[in-house]
């Protein structure tokens, strides 16, 4: 059975009623299974994770986009995470028996439908990008919603689909295809944001920017500074290497890591890599995990 993941990032992390409605409308689509919703009030952002096939995911994204336009106004949005639209990014992820090429085709089909049905400018990114300068969603998002009225007029930033003007309340959206990524928030034991930015810059320098995105997104509920990290390829850059770099850099600044929060879902393979590293396991086999046997059908 083939399975594709979809991980939309919505610019709403505070209004529980809106998040519940988006969740229920998405999970009501036949053939779609909603796995997780992670919301952050400080960033004012929610990450939805659901799975399905090409047809069901297309229907789910359409419904998600429709409800988001009805309930969210980007001109009234404020939060620590950069954003350019109410549905900021929509990545499709190959999970089981699915090629990246199929996810690219799905991203382009869904992007075209969003542009035509909702009048929202669409930019293809990741492995669905139509130009090298659009591969990184950070480059696409640069300038955020407030800067897009000018940016969209530049020839190099003509949308892939939809009108060549920013939607008044929905902004713009990036639709793409990518491998699974690992997203975490690293919480420091200090409220010092300038110090957190030094640590964040050090993480990018020491781990390299090719497979990593990191930015300081303000303070968490306890007041500690928070660094949002996305590992784009955990096989080339294990998550424990990033955490250890953060720990080392924080220590040099007289600070420490208070905790690491997972954002959305994480692959077992990435966690096993960290398990092997910290326990120095030799010839580890995932089937040595008891629960894997308990969940198997006889």
Q: Are residues 23 and 128 in the same domain?
A: yes
Measure the CA–CA gap between 12 and 40, rounded to whole angstroms. 8
**pLDDT mean across residues, the chain:** 93
Q: Are residues 148 and 74 in the same domain?
A: yes
Q: Is 78 exposed, middle or buried (0-12, 13-18, 19+ CB in 10 A)?
A: exposed
Spatial distance between the Cα atoms of 87 and 83, rounded to a whole number of angstroms:
9
The verdict on residue 271 lying in a domain is: no
Residue 184, both tokens: 């975490």
Beta partners for residue 96, in sequence order: 3
- CA–CA gap between residue 15 and residue 6 (Å, rounded): 22
Tell me whether residue 212 is in a domain. Answer: yes
For 232-259, the pLDDT digits (tens) are 889 889 999 999 999 999 999 999 999 9
Same domain, 207 and 63: no
What mean pLDDT do residues 11-38 have? Answer: 95
- pLDDT tens column, 273-291: 899 999 999 989 888 888 8
Catalytic residues: 81
Report the CATH number that the domain containing residue 249 is assigned in CATH. Answer: 3.30.70.670
What is the number of domains present in the chain? 2
168 with 223, same domain?
A: no
What is the residue range of 99's domain?
Answer: 3-177
| Each residue's pLDDT tens digit, 95-117 | 999 999 999 999 999 999 999 99
The pTM of this model reads: 0.86
In a shared domain, residues 14 and 144: yes
Residue 294 binned pLDDT confidence (cut-offs 50, 70, 90): confident
Q: 169, 73 in Cβ contact below 8 A?
A: yes
SS3 call for 73: coil
Final residue in a domain of this structure, among 177, 192, 225 = 177
Kindly state whether residue 81 falls inside one of the protein's structural domains. yes
Query: For the chain, how big is the Rg over CA atoms in Å?
Result: 19
Please, is 223 exposed, middle or buried when counting C-beta atoms within 10 Å of its C-beta (0-12, 13-18, 19+)?
A: exposed
Q: Are residues 127 and 235 in the same domain?
A: no
Is residue 279 situated within a structural domain? no
């Amino acid at each position: 059975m083939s399975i594709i993941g979809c991980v939309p990032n919505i610019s709403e992390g505070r209004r529980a009623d809106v998040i519940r409605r988006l969740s229920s409308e998405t999970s009501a689509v036949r053939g779609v299974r909603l796995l997780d919703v992670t919301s952050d009030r400080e960033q004012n952002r929610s990450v939805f994770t659901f799975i399905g096939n090409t047809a069901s995911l297309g229907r789910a994204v359409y419904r998600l986009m429709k409800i988001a336009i009805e309930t969210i106004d980007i001109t009234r949005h404020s939060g620590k995470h950069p954003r350019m639209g109410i549905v900021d990014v929509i990545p499709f992820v190959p999970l089981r028996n699915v090629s990246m090429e199929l996810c690219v085709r799905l991203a382009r089909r869904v992007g075209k439908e969003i542009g035509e049905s909702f009048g929202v400018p669409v930019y293809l990114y990741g492995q669905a990008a139509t130009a090298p300068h659009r591969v990184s969603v950070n480059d696409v998002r640069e300038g955020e919603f407030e800067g897009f009225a000018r940016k969209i007029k530049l020839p190099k930033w003509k949308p892939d689909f939809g009108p060549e003007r920013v939607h008044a309340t929905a902004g713009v959206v990036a639709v793409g295809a990518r491998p699974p990524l690992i997203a975490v928030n690293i919480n420091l034991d200090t409220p010092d944001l300038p110090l957190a930015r030094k640590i964040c810059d050090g993480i990018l320098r020491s781990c390299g920017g090719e497979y990593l995105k990191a930015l300081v997104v303000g303070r968490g509920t306890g007041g500690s500074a928070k660094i949002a990290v996305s590992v784009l390829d955990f096989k080339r850059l294990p998550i424990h290497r990033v955490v250890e770099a953060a720990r080392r850099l924080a220590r040099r600044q007289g600070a420490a890591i208070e905790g690491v929060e997972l954002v959305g879902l994480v692959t077992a393979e990435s966690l096993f890599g960290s398990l092997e590293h910290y326990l120095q396991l030799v010839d580890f086999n995932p089937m040595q995990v008891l629960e894997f046997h308990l969940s198997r059908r006889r």
